[in-house]
């Protein structure tokens, strides 16, 4: 039986991964991910799980070790944050191109410079096009659940892609939360053994990571994109299975009080919890506002997003990264392009919030929604860097 416990979310992430019968963990510690690395190392050292913990010398090595381990048929896990992910960048598209189901926990943290260890999404956004499935977790329970789900989704024969689970640094990693930790029996029932498509074995020769000449490269990219797009079906299917077994529901786009809402605000990750409190207060004050939370970042859930926004006059997209010299926030830019050809599209505004750990309160969210409602048409093209002192 699952146990309801109080636990720091980073520790819970490591505990959840330990329930997944991993073979290899190659993790290099970095704030605010360190507790995942340390606790997982401890679990392996204590002999609680039969896995190799590779003490790599960098993040470039940790992802490379996972790539090799996964190619050899091992279930491999890594975790990182900010600069660590930037250092992994070169290897990320190779792992996805080789269709290796590595799972990564990412404690989201601002990238330098200036040096900042606190939370925003500037680390994941530059990795957007690396061909990984990307999830965002809102609270500790979701971190536990999605860590376990990720292995099953990544390894599914219809998917075979790596997954990055975004876990807001500090706001989630360092919180002690009440959560339900599934027991080993329940996880075993949900998660089958990893059956690789092919493994590096001398008796059955296979070349992985081959070269592709101009005559075939385009077709290889098409195959990779189709794999990403098609993975959504399996992701949704496995989330349904999860609900049947554990009772907790997961959707590509989560809705909160969207019925009859004229104004919708969109968040990703931990900010959803604060925003939902703002929605409660606004609804009590008679403001028809609702919240949508983007859980699935890649593959981008076009249909689900359009369905969730249907009937709303206004959509406020919050971003936790800036595309400098560009259109503002990367999420808003994608949402705008998703709606461009729609006849009935909402008025879209973009607020960049909570950069480098700046707190965004319930009052802030209410203020953002009120400001967006009053926003003039000529201001809509510009993004709002919320709270900037000027």
Partner 1 sequence: MKQKKWPEKWHEINPGCMVFEPGSAHAYKTGSWRAQKPIWDNAKCIKCGVCYLYCPEGCIAEDEKGFYSADMDYCKGCGICAHECWPGAIEMKEEGEG
Q: Please report, as ranges, the residues that interact with partner 1 according to CB under 8 A.
A: 97-100, 160, 197-198, 205-208, 210, 212-213, 215-216, 218-220, 222-223, 226-227
What is the nearest approach in angstroms of partner 1 to the Cβ of residue 163? 16
Structure tokens at 179: 């959560």
Alpha-carbon distance of 191 to 105, in angstroms, equals 18
Instruction: Report in angstroms how near the CB of residue 152 gets to partner 1 at its nearest.
Output: 18
Query: Which is closer to partner 1, CB of 99 or CB of 366?
Result: 99
150 and 108 in contact (C-beta within 8 Å)?
Answer: no
Find the angle CA(313)-CA(276)-CA(249) to the nearest 5 degrees.
100
CA–CA distance, 120 with 168 (Å, rounded to integer): 7
Q: Is 312 helix (H, G, I), strand (E, B) or coil?
A: coil
Nearest to partner 1 of 85, 227 (CB atom): 227
Given a contact cutoff of 8 angstroms between Cβ atoms, the answer to whether 127 and 89 are in contact is: yes
Nearest to residue 85, comparing CAs of 66, 70, 105, 65? 105
Question: Cβ 199 to partner 1, closest distance in Å?
Answer: 10
Minimum CB distance to partner 1, residue 157 (Å): 9
* Cβ proximity to partner 1, 226 vs 307, nearer residue: 226
- The residue (of 115 and 221) whose beta carbon lies closer to partner 1 is 221
24: β partners? 52, 76
Cα–Cα distance, 157 to 312 (Å, whole number): 38
CB of 161 to partner 1, least distance (A): 10
Q: How far is the CB of 218 from partner 1 (least distance, A)?
A: 8
Beta bridge partners, 166, equal 106, 136
Residue closer to partner 1 by CB (options 226, 241) is 226
CB nearer to partner 1: pick between 193 and 215: 215
Of 199 and 323, the one with the shorter C-beta distance to partner 1 is 199
What DSSP string describes 5-57?
Answer: EEEEHHHHHHHHHHTTT-SEEE----TTTHHHHHHHHHHHHTTSS--EEE--S
Residue 6 region by backbone torsions, left for phi larger than 0, else alpha for psi between -120 and 50, else beta? beta
- We find the least distance from the C-beta atom of residue 134 to partner 1, in angstroms, to be 19
């Amino acid at each position: 039986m699952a146990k309801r416990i109080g636990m720091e979310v980073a520790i819970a992430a490591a505990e959840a991964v330990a329930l997944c019968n991993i073979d290899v963990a190659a993790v290099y510690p970095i704030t605010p991910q360190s507790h995942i690395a340390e606790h997982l190392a401890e679990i392996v050292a204590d002999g609680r799980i039969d896995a190799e913990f590779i003490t790599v010398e960098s993040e470039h090595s940790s992802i490379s070790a996972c790539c090799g381990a996964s190619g050899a048929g091992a279930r491999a896990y890594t975790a990182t944050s900010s600069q660590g992910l930037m250092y992994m960048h070169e290897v990320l598209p190779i792992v996805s191109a080789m269709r290796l189901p590595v799972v990564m926990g990412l404690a989201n943290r601002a990238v330098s410079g200036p040096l900042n260890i606190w939370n925003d999404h500037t680390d994941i956004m530059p990795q957007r096009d690396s061909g990984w499935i990307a999830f965002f977790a809102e609270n500790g329970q979701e971190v536990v659940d999605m860590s376990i789900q990720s292995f099953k989704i990544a390894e599914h024969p219809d998917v075979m892609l790596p997954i990055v689970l975004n876990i807001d640094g500090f706001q989630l990693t360092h919180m002690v939360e009440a959560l339900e930790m599934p027991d080993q029996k329940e996880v075993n029932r949900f998660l089958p053994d990893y059956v690789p498509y092919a493994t590096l074995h001398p008796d059955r020769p296979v070349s992985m990571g081959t070269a592709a000449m101009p005559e075939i490269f385009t077709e290889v990219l098409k195959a990779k994109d189709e794999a990403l797009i098609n993975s959504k079906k399996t992701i949704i299917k496995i989330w349904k299975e999860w609900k049947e077994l554990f009772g907790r529901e997961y959707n590509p786009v989560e809705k909160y009080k969207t019925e009859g809402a004229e104004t919708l605000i969109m968040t990703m990750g931990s900010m959803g919890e604060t925003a939902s409190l703002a929605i409660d207060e606004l609804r009590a004050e008679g403001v028809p506002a609702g919240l949508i939370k983007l859980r699935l970042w890649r593959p981008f859930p076009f249909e689900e997003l359009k369905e969730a926004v249907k009937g709303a006059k206004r959509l406020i997209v919050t971003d936790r990264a800036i595309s400098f010299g560009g259109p503002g926030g990367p999420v808003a830019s994608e949402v705008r392009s998703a709606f461009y050809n729609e006849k009935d599209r909402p008025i879209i505004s973009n607020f960049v919030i909570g950069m480098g750990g700046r707190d965004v309160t319930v009052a802030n969210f209410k203020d953002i929604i009120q400001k967006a409602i009053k926003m003039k048409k000529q201001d809509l093209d510009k993004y709002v860097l919320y709270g900037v002192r000027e």
